[in-house]
């Protein structure tokens, strides 16, 4: 599975070892973008100017990711409101009734499915094309998976979550085909809802089969899951048709890392090495420690380094410093691996 990694190694990479560094996706929006959104909502900013603001923010964060040194970048999902809401706004058959709590004072407009769902327009094609154009690094495209879209909607129409998820899987597959046609080489399917209802891993697997069946072999696919008891989905997830698993582990200080050792992990492993919900910036040393713990699961050629989850709730400077330290820590570990100071099973 690891041969789809090499396309992300930078041409001027200084080490023999290569730990692919990336982010999960979301990033804090600049304050001026929030202000522009308010002005646009109040009809004080034209559609044209709002589009320009979105392009500017997308370019800014893409370049901020490059400045942090990431090997595969995202535009921080500047055009997206939220990981379910954004897609539901573009799918026929949804309605919105207002914000609901996720945790603390973090909310989202959880949509309600009120009739048969339909694919009406591309969801992420413009975002990908723009980011790909302004980026000098390869672009990763995170897309919310069908099971999460189903589970995190109020289902007023379909018989059950499985039926709804299967309908959404056909719509996500259609979008993934659009992205691949546009040149996307790294697609991450976000299924955090799997951690909420681990007994549904078969439904998620069926949906992933549908979503990925037309993806060419040279396109890297990942699955992101977070904040759950992984022992309830492992090793079943090894059967899923993706190259990489991206999971949160730093939040609880790698307490669950041993789950992935028995049976041996057979895919690429992308554990979070910085906490996405703690505003203190981890030192490079601390992050190196986390990377070394991850190396006890897979060898370096199958390790991807990323944060626990999207960084959008952090102050922007904190998000940048975490990302920058994460890349520096990865490069330090590569150097130590090259020099034999640490061994792959450290």
Partner 1 sequence: MKRIATTTGLYPLPDWAKSQLREQKGRQRDDLISGNEGEDVTATYDTAREEVIERQQAAELDRIVEGQLRWDDMLCHPLAVHDAVEAGGILRYYDNNNFYREMSVQGELTTTGDLATELNAAARIAPDDARQAVLPGPCSLADLATDEYYGDEDAFLDAVAGFLAEEVRSCPAVETTLLLEPSLAVDPPPEQAETIDAIETVAEAATGEVIVHTYWGTPSTGLYASLLDASVDGVGLDLVTSASDVGALGREYGYPDATAFGVVDGQNTRIETAEEIDRLLDDALTDADMPNRAYLTINTEAFYLPFGRFDRKLAALADAVTPEEVAP
Contact residues for partner 1, defined by CB under 8 A: 97-107, 109-110, 112, 151-152, 154-156, 192-193, 195-198, 227-229, 251-253, 275, 277-279, 313-314
Nearer to partner 1, 70 or 203 (CB): 203
Nearer to partner 1, 228 or 300 (CB): 228
Q: In the complex, what is the shortest distance from the CB of residue 148 to partner 1, in angstroms, rounded to a whole number? A: 8
Q: In the complex, what is the shortest distance from the CB of residue 79 to partner 1, in angstroms, rounded to a whole number? A: 21
Nearer to partner 1, 39 or 170 (CB): 39
Nearer to partner 1, 30 or 272 (CB): 272
- Check whether the bond before 263 is cis (ω within 30° of 0): yes
- Dihedral in degrees, nearest 10, Cα atoms 147, 151, 30, 47: 90
Q: In what order do the strands lie in the sheet with 186-190?
A: 141-144, 186-190, 220-225, 244-247, 268-271
Q: In the complex, what is the shortest distance from the CB of residue 224 to partner 1, in angstroms, rounded to a whole number? A: 14
Contact 219, 185 (CB under 8 A): yes
Q: In the complex, what is the shortest distance from the CB of residue 261 to partner 1, in angstroms, rounded to a whole number? A: 22
* End-to-end CA separation in angstroms for the chain: 23
Nearer to partner 1, 177 or 229 (CB): 229
Q: In the complex, what is the shortest distance from the CB of residue 100 to partner 1, in angstroms, rounded to a whole number? A: 6
Q: Are strands 106-108 and 100-103 parallel, antiparallel or unpaired?
A: antiparallel
Nearer to partner 1, 144 or 221 (CB): 144
Q: In what order do the strands lie in the sheet with 91-96?
A: 91-96, 111-119, 154-155
Contact 209, 241 (CB under 8 A): yes
Cβ atoms within 10 Å, residue 338: 14
Q: How many residues does the chain have?
A: 346
Q: In the complex, what is the shortest distance from the CB of residue 226 to partner 1, in angstroms, rounded to a whole number? A: 9
Contact 211, 177 (CB under 8 A): no
């Amino acid at each position: 599975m690891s041969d789809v990694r090499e396309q992300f190694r930078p041409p001027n990479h200084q080490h023999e070892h290569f730990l692919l560094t990336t982010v999960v996706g979301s990033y804090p929006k600049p304050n001026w973008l929030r202000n522009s959104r308010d002005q646009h909502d109040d009809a004080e900013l034209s559609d044209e100017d709002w589009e320009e603001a979105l392009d500017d923010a997308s370019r800014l964060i893409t370049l901020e990711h490059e400045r942090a040194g990431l090997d595969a970048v995202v535009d921080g999902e500047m055009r997206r409101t939220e990981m379910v809401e954004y897609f539901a706004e573009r799918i026929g058959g949804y309605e919105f009734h207002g914000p609901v709590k996720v945790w603390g004072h973090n909310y989202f407009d959880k949509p309600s499915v009120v009739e048969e769902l339909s694919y009406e327009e591309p969801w992420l094609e413009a975002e990908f094309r723009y980011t790909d154009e302004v980026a000098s690094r390869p672009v990763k495209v995170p897309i919310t998976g069908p099971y999460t879209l189903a589970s995190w909607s109020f289902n007023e129409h379909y018989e059950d979550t499985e039926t709804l998820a299967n309908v959404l899987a056909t719509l996500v597959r259609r979008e993934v085909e659009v992205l691949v046609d546009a040149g996307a080489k790294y697609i991450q399917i976000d299924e955090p809802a799997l951690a909420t209802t681990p007994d549904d891993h078969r439904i998620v697997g069926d949906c992933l089969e549908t979503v990925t069946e037309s993806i060419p072999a040279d396109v890297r696919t990942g699955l992101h899951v977070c904040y759950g008891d992984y022992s309830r989905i492992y090793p079943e997830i090894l059967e899923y048709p993706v190259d990489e698993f991206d999971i949160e582990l730093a939040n609880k200080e790698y307490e669950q890392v041993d789950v992935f050792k028995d049976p041996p992990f057979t895919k690429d492993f992308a554990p979070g090495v910085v906490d996405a919900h703690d505003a203190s910036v981890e030192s490079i040393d601390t992050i190196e420690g986390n990377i070394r713990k991850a190396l006890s699961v897979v060898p370096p050629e199958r390790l991807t380094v990323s944060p626990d989850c999207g960084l959008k709730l952090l102050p922007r400077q904190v998000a940048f410093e975490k990302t920058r330290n994460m890349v520096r820590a990865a490069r330090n570990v590569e150097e130590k691996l090259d020099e034999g100071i640490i061994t792959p099973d450290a």
